Structure 1
Amino acid sequence: MTGRNSGIDLLRGIAIVLVIIHHIALRIPLAQTGLVTIFPLRLVKALSRNGQSAVTIFFVISGFLITSHAIKRWGTLSQLDWQSFYRRRAARILPCLVVLVGVLSVLDLAQVPDYTINHDNQSLPRAILAAFGMHLNWYEGQTGYLPGGWDVLWSLSIEEAFYIGFPLFCLITAHFTHFRAFMFFCLALSMPLSLTALTHASEIWQSKAYLPGMSAIAMGVCSALLGHHVSISRQTRLRASIGVIGATIFCSYLIYMPFFWSTLGNGAPLALTIATAFLLIAFGWGWLADYTTRGTGWLRSFGVMSYEIYLSHMFVVFSLMALFHRSGGDMRTGWLWVVPALGFSWLLGYGIEHFLSRPADRWLRHSPKSQAIGSMTT
């Protein structure tokens, strides 16, 4: 993990763990298990319901990282090399995506339970097209949920669409940097408006539409720009305050989400994106650098492999749920299945990262054929 930011990896680890627990809790309601005799009901409910919040956190982190890395690599966003940018994004995203879609297609053709597309208005070819065409979220919004292994790709469709437009917008506005920052700022704050506009849309589209997700990504972009342009002397004075404020709102939102929604309405997710942005700025400035590494290695390792774990964890969830029901489905001890779900998800993610995504990423970035596409490979 050399050269990584431990605080950001910790945030990513928290987010992916919340996603896994959420998908277990949809099938084994944790509030109905013996876990409530160990932890407060409010905390158990918070662990169960924050899957969507976790994806929002991922969006903000994604925007922060792609912007920070672009600035470090090219100096400014105006000098961003779009060919190198697309190549690096493709090398990171496509290998796992291609393999996942291939495996899911085979399972669908074999009519394996939990992996078979059963809706009359859905088909395997259209699901494949949606997965690679950056509109699986729209496809589900129009036709209904796909099986869980496919469903996780909805957020990737939003990120990929943002990645397509990001370098082009940066180059188009190369001589209008203030206008560019203003536009990202407006998009970042547009979350309440975009959610309000979706009031009468289908339930699926309300949670998976493009604009709210891109708003969260734009918040990450803004946080990276702000963190980069604030002077070092001010960083030292500000980082503790920004970090504490961000951590307070972040934790409060995850635990008291219903209160935020009842109080702020469609502005509630905006509070989460701002809190996450504050944490990213503070961590980027080195806040708690000596403390986020203590006793958090296991959680940070989830963050390091969050992409691989996110794409593959439903294989673990479906397998364990089948074993749960075959064992009698005792709801009182149902919460115990969370531990193996996390453990096996980590192992599967490690295998994918070690044997697929890392070697493929290295080969695609540095092979002679890929280097011929553009002039920069690092």
Structure 2
Amino acid sequence: MQTARQVRNLPSLTGLRFAAMLPVFLVHVALEGVFSADSANWGFLNGLGTSGYVAVSSFFVLSGFVITWSFDQRDTLRGFYRRRLARVLPNHVVVFGIALVLMAAFRMAVGLPNALAQLLLVQAWIPDYSYLDFGNSVSWSLSVDVVFYGLFPAIILVARKIRPRHLWYWAGVAVLGVVLVSTVAMFLLPAEPVRPLGEISESQYWLIHFLPVSRLFECLLGVVMARIVQNGQWIGLRPLWAFALLLAAYAITFLVPYPYRLTSVTVAPLGLLIASLAVADVEGRRTLLSYRFLVRLGELSYAFYLLHNLVVRFGHLAFGGEEVDGETVGRTWSTPVALALIVAAFALSLGAAWLLHTFVEKPAVRRWSKAGPRPPAEPAVAPAGATAS
């Protein structure tokens, strides 16, 4: 059997990226309120529950896992940062420019401080929703990514020193960190003003959902789970059972206080699911997510993520709108027409993602991700199913 080090690509995790994108896309569509019947709009949004938050959480756990998995300790700091930024920044800058053009076309105010904060990816540090909702609002998550990338060389040095038999304890510490953030938000931050679409205040929501330091615990969980697999400490849980645990945890989210619904209850099962899928790939077992079609969609997921909300938001406004309480609100349609437009928005987002991935992301990675000469590799780590001493 191949060792974890020898298996560089994890197709199931690539497929998982796109599977996680679907609830994010649907939540942003639901927030547009495209159905004429209010009952349909609220039913759509309520039916999605907290699935969008689970999906976003999975992105951060995946980020920690995949970067740890692909990390080569022979790499230089300069090489590591160059490759990370080559994957993130070109797409971000291009889509940021597209967002500004669209805002100007629809006569929206473009504040210079807001624009600079988003361009520099520091908007998530600012507890002001005029910054977080500006332009291509989904790019707030890149604020977390760049912080994690900046700290990763130090994080991996520490993670590699953890004894294999202690790794599960540190996974628990990362999960407790996520829970601690929700607890601090619930008991130490003001409960007012409450957000329109959630039983949580704006400051509580910012701390749990946006603040990069808070989201680092999910990235750290991904790091530790990758080390668990690499060091042969996996417990043998199969993806189907891990997914069942995630579904059970998701059901529990409806029974706990709102601050704990966003990430706290589901983060541990997410870590287990991601690790179980990676082990399946290492052992050569096919999963539903490892089929080529889903893997290909997963390769487009970053570009799709950056573009989809612009397509949904400005595509909606392109059909016309009206002023409601000082905000432009798009048209609504009958259920069949609205469903057809949602499918069209998905297809347009996917097509735009292919263009961005093909003509911006891939050329940038080829241009700036080339590694220089490296010393000989270290011996491979233990197989995923082995028991480390």
Q: TM-score range by the shorter chain?
A: 0.7 to 0.9
Match of 1:286 among 280, 285, 298: 280
> Does the 8 Å contact 1:243/1:282 carry over to 2?
yes
Cα distance in 1, alignment partners of residues 99 and 178 from structure 2: 33
Q: 1 CA distance for matches of 2:160 and 2:65?
A: 22
* CA RMSD after TM alignment: 3.6
Equivalent residue number for residue 120 of structure 1: none
More helix, by proportion: 1
Corresponding residue for 1:12?
Answer: 17
Whichever residue aligns with residue 273 of structure 2, its letter is L
CA distance 1:257–1:156, change in 2 (3 Å): farther
Moved more, 175-184 or 83-92: 175-184
Whether the 8 Å CA contact 2:243–2:269 is kept in 1: the answer is: yes
Partner of 2:117: 130
Separation in 2, partners of 1:163, 1:224 = 16
* Maintained 8 Å contact 1:138/1:209: yes
Shift of 1:167: 0.5
TM-score if structure 2 supplies the norm length? 0.75
Q: Does 1:337 align with 2:341?
A: yes
Q: 1:46 to 1:147 in 2, by over 3 A?
A: same
Correspondence for 2:223 among 221, 224, 231: 221
Question: Is the contact made by 1:260 and 1:268 (CA closer than 8 Å) also made in structure 2?
Answer: no
Q: How many residues align?
A: 341
TM-score, length basis structure 1: 0.77
Query: Where does residue 275 of structure 1 map in the other structure?
Result: 269
- Structure 2 gaps of 5+ residues are 1-6, 191-202, 322-329, 378-389
Q: 1:272 to 1:158 in 2, by over 3 A?
A: same
Residue 316, structure 1, aligned to residue 311, structure 2: yes
2:353 counterpart of 1:349:
yes
Retained in 2: the 8 A contact 1:185–1:218?
Answer: no
1:66–1:174 Cα change, 3 Å: closer
Equivalence for 1:212: 214
- Which amino acid letter does the alignment assign opposite residue 184 of structure 2? A
Aligned to 1:248: 244
Equivalent pair of 1:194/1:211 in contact (CA under 8 Å):
no
Contact persistence 1:154–1:208 (CA under 8 A): yes
- The aligned residue for residue 261 of structure 1 is 256
Rounded Cα–Cα distance in structure 2 between residues aligned with 1:248 and 1:31? 36
- Paired residue secondary structure (2:256): helix
Structure-to-structure mapping, 1:40-119, within 5 angstroms:
45-47=46-48, 49-70=50-71, 73-74=72-73, 81-108=76-103, 110=104, 112-113=106-107, 116-117=109-110
Closer, same or farther: CA 87–328 of 1 in aligned 2, 3 Å = closer
Q: 1:153, CA displacement in angstroms?
A: 1.3
Partner of 2:153: 167
Deviations 1:339-366 (A, max 9, x none): 1122111111111001110011101123
* Range 327-336 or range 158-167, more displaced: 327-336
Maintained 8 Å contact 1:34/1:335 = no
Would the alpha carbon gap of residues 164 and 293 (structure 1) be closer, same or farther in structure 2, given more than 3 Å must change? closer
Q: For structure 1, which segment, 15-24 or 79-88, has the greater mean C-alpha deviation from structure 2 after superposition?
A: 79-88
C-alpha deviation, 1:328, in angstroms: 5.8
Deviations 1:158-198 (A, max 9, x none): 11101101103434x48844499676753342111112222
> In structure 1, the residue corresponding to 2:280 is in which secondary structure?
coil
Q: Which residue of 2 aligns with 1:24?
A: 29
- Work out the CA distance in 2 between the residues paired with 1:174 and 1:152: 30
| Cα separation, 2, equivalents of 1:81 and 1:260 | 47
Q: Deviations over 1:250-272 (max 9, x none)?
A: 23445x3642535x962762332
Work out whether residues 22 and 49 of structure 1, in 8 Å CA contact, stay in contact via their aligned partners in 2. Answer: no
- 1:154 alignment partner in structure 2: 140
- Verify the 8 A CA contact 1:34 1:332 in the aligned structure 2: no
Kindly indicate whether the alpha-carbon contact (under 8 Å) linking 1:33 and 1:335 is maintained by their aligned counterparts in 2: no
Three-state SS of the structure 1 residue aligned to 2:332 is coil
In structure 1, how many angstroms separate the alpha carbons of the residues matched to 2:128 and 2:331? 37
Amino acid at match of 1:190: G
Partner Cα distance (1:249, 1:30) in 2: 34
Q: Which moved more, 1:145-154 or 1:192-201?
A: 145-154
* Alignment partners' CA distance in 1, 2:292 and 2:75: 33
| Identity across the alignment (%) | 23
Could you list the per-position Cα deviations for residues 287-324 of structure 1 after superposition, in whole angstroms to 9, with x for gaps in the alignment?
68324158x65544332211111111122102431355
- The one-letter amino acid paired with 2:56 is V
Question: How far has the Cα of 1:111 moved from its partner?
Answer: 5.6
Contact 2:65 2:219 in 1 (8 A): yes
What corresponds to 2:200 in structure 1? none
Please give the alpha-carbon distance, in whole angstroms, between the structure 1 residues aligned to 2:216 and 2:311. Answer: 29
Give the gaps of 5 or more residues in structure 1.
Answer: 118-122
Shift of 1:133: 3.8
Distance of 2:106 and 2:36 partners within structure 1: 30
